[in-house]
Amino acid sequence: MIEGSVTATRQQARVAGWLYLLLALIGPIGLLYVPAQLIVHDNARATADNLRASGALLRLGIVSDLAHQIVAVFLVLALYRLFRAVNESQARLMVVLGALVSVPIVFVNALNDIAALVLVSGAEFLAVFERPQLDALAYLFLRLHGEGITVASIFWGLWLFPFGMLVVRSGFIPRALGVLLIVAGVGYLVSAFARLALPAYGPLVSQVLSPLMVGELPIIFWLLIWGAKGPGAAAVAAGPSASGQDAREFETGVEYDGSTSRGPARLCAGSPSRPRRARARGTDEAGHRAGAARHPMGHSSLLHRRQTEGVPSRRFEQRRRLDRQGENPWWFARPCPYSSR
């Protein structure tokens, strides 16, 4: 069972690797190649002439921008499914920074390229403008597109921080790859803020920091070739927490209380450690009353209310009856791995 779960985790990692590779292949077309071919720095007329001669190339860049952001959404979701067992809060932060914020920015930013194409299209409603004016406006929108990419790159750097921390804590991917992701995130952030705050030095800073941004590449090949490898993969496969809590539950057949480290919250029929655990926590009514403060909405509070207020609880009676019959409902306890069912 565990081996099958480890295999599924490894396959999920490889799916994320393929999506990451597709993103790395599509993204540079619209981000690097197309602007380098069309935009002539500080020359609106030459840039507009390039647009009129190679409008299809700019459209290719627009498709590249939109496609690689669509892939980014599926990539972030795949990584969330892979790392949510490591730290769910960090995984959610990764989703927010990696998809929920940056993707809308890039989609809206594509309108600037579309506006530049319209301005050089020679449409009749643009006859009121002189050609130099149209050239300047087209160049302006292309420059705005570049600034929009700079703003989006802030979040391309921010999402690498929770991603890198998840890799470091995962146990099934080398920690060095997580450190490289964090370093790449620093490179994205410094480069973006340099372009926005110090535009005269922005290109120089980007050239100096470009080697740091390559830190994203090793994780792609690791996910593709090895996927999830090491003892951490087994811990992730055991349950939704890589801290060891659910791994202990699987090994002992005992469900642990996540809010305290004093022991199991409930004992599973068939657990080899049932007598010892029962003495450690207590299954009598006093133990239930003591646990009511920690579990105000759990079965302990129902028993406590029944004893103190004399109010019968059908739900508690049903839970206790099903527990005695060995048919524990899903909201009360997890199935025991030692049982024959």
CA-atom Rg of the chain in angstroms: 29
Q: What is the pLDDT of residue 313?
A: 54
Q: Give, for 99, the enclosing helix (H) or strand (E).
A: none
Spell out the long-range contacts of 290-297 with Cβ–Cβ below 8 A and sequence spacing 24 or more: 291/265, 294/257, 294/259, 294/260, 295/257, 295/265
Q: What is the pLDDT of residue 5?
A: 66
Angular region, 298: left φ>0, alpha ψ -120 to 50, beta rest: beta
CB-CB contact of 280 with 270 (8 Å): no
Q: What is the pLDDT of residue 166?
A: 95
pTM: 0.67
Dist. CA 21–CA 78, nearest whole Å: 13
CA 90-93-96 angle, 5° bins: 155
Dist. CA 132–CA 44, nearest whole Å: 8
CB within 8 A of 114, min separation 6: which ones? 62
Q: What is the pLDDT of residue 318?
A: 63
Dist. CA 113–CA 117, nearest whole Å: 6
CB-CB contact of 174 with 99 (8 Å): no
CB within 8 A of 273, min separation 6: which ones? 252, 253, 254
Q: What is the pLDDT of residue 22?
A: 96
Would you give per-residue pLDDT tens digits along the chain (341 residues)?
445 567 788 899 999 999 999 999 999 999 999 999 999 998 999 999 999 999 999 999 999 999 999 999 999 999 999 999 999 999 999 999 999 999 999 999 999 999 999 999 989 999 999 999 999 999 999 999 999 999 999 999 999 999 999 999 988 899 999 999 999 999 999 999 999 998 888 889 988 888 888 899 999 999 998 887 655 555 555 454 444 444 344 334 444 444 433 444 444 444 444 444 444 444 444 444 444 444 444 444 444 455 555 554 565 566 666 555 555 444 444 444 444 44
Q: What is the pLDDT of residue 60?
A: 96
pLDDT digit string, tens, across residues 149-205: 999 999 999 999 999 999 999 888 999 999 999 999 999 999 999 999 988 888 899
Nearest to 152 by CA among 110, 214, 118: 110
